[in-house]
Amino acid sequence: MSTPRMSVQLYSVRHALEADQDATLGRLAALGLRNVEAFAFVHRAGELADALARHGLSAPTGHAGFLSADGASAASLDETFRAARRLGVEILFDPFVPAARWADEEEIARTADLLNEAAERAADHGLRVGYHNHSQEFVHTVAGLNAFDFFADRLSPEVVLEIDLFWASAGGNDVVSLLDRLGSRVRALHVKDGPVIDDPFTSGAPFDPADTRQVAAGRGRIRLDESLAAASHAEYAVIEFDHYDGDIFEGVAAGVSYLNGKGIV
């Protein structure tokens, strides 16, 4: 079992970044963080890379949408992958495929095919690619499996996964059993805590992140301790909040403390 490296998804501090990117990155570094997970970086990779470097931060993982329903053009994939490498990203995850595409066997198989094709092109850039779940991926059953397991079974060996423990729980999963099933394909975790809520995406109703009632790691009902132990091949443990009711830096600091207590730095 390897020990993952700690990181934080920058989406957690998106409002602070908009107000003062440099100060925000400085505050994250002051909490002891050395890694971040980037988002919305494709058209500003150079500028963000310079900002991270000023504070001794690296972005070994990132999020970018590249699994469009019609397939991304080679040019747009190459642009995304070039930006990721400029930023220093090693693993790039698509963070969200809409709920409607998880209800039909052919659509799920097509999404897996798109990810496999992206992995081939990413390899030319020295990148790995994968998928980051929410909860809609687990709602439907196809061919006797939940949609996400059906999807995972169709992925090429080089494709990896980032399991968001909060959202996987919202999808009705025993997250420890899920991690056991997925095995070495799981290379990153979103360490996110709160109550176990119902999937909010499949209905199509408006979604307010505040309704997730997320709390700092170790303060909610998500099985974080057991999940960290089960994900024996995870390379990154990424703190994230979709919403935090309070000082977001306090929430991140509590996450750092929680992971430090597990020997993760």
Q: Which residue has the higher pLDDT, 6 or 2?
A: 6
> Is 90 exceeded by the pLDDT of residue 66?
yes
Q: Are 87 and 44 in contact (CB under 8 A)?
A: no
Mean pLDDT score across all residues of the chain: 97
Q: Each residue of 215-236: pLDDT tens digit?
A: 999 999 999 999 999 999 999 9
Spell out the alpha helix ranges (H) of the chain: 14-19, 21-30, 45-54, 74-87, 105-123, 147-153, 165-170, 175-182, 224-230, 248-261
Domain spans of the chain, in order of start: 5-261
Residue type, 31: L
Reference 1, options 189, 223, 178, 184; nearest CA is: 184
Residue 146 has pLDDT above 70, yes or no: yes
What gap in Å lies between CA 50 and CA 200, rounded to an integer?
37
Report, as an integer, the average pLDDT of 17-25: 98
Alpha-carbon distance values, 189 to 30, 88, 165, 215, 222 (Å)? 23, 19, 7, 17, 13
pLDDT in tens, 177-207: 999 999 999 999 999 999 999 999 999 999 9
- What tokens does 42 get? 């494709």
Of the pLDDT bands very low, low, confident and very high (cuts 50, 70, 90), residue 72 is low
CATH number for region 5-261: 3.20.20.150
CA 96/CA 140 separation, integer angstroms: 16
pLDDT at 2: 83
**126-143: pLDDT as tens digits:** 999 999 999 999 999 999
Distance CA 51, CA 131 (A): 26
Question: 96 is written with which tokens?
Answer: 């969200």
